[in-house]
Amino acid sequence: MAIIISDETLAKAQLTEQDFLIDLACYLYDKKRLSMRNAQALASLNLLDFQKELAKREIGTHYTQEDLNKDLQNLGISL
């Protein structure tokens, strides 16, 4: 699916195409509609830069106890 947003509309919103995609990706990540990886790809940013964009918007990462346990298991650490 393609969505066409005119340059005029972006200008009225004072956004570049890249800014719009970053905003959209952050919004969808915050609403748990996209994973970190998928939102990062939509924003066309590397992981660190996307995390910085989330921090600017005061959006926390969705990192659960289950994620931590899985990471620890992958590292061979047991509690």
How far apart are alpha carbons 72 and 19 in whole angstroms?
Answer: 36
Residue type, 2: A
Mean pLDDT, residues 33-62 taken together: 96
Question: Domain extents for the chain?
Answer: 14-74
56 closest CA partner among 44, 64, 65, 48: 48
DSSP states along 14-53: T--HHHHHHHHHHHHHHTTSS-HHHHHHHHT--HHHHHHH
Q: If you average pLDDT over every residue of the chain, what do you get?
A: 94
Mean pLDDT, residues 9-28 taken together: 97
Report the pLDDT value the prediction gives residue 79, as an integer from 0 to 100. Answer: 72
Q: Which residues contact 65 (CB under 8 A, 6 or more apart)?
A: none
This prediction's pTM: 0.80
Q: Which residue has the higher pLDDT, 40 or 67?
A: 40
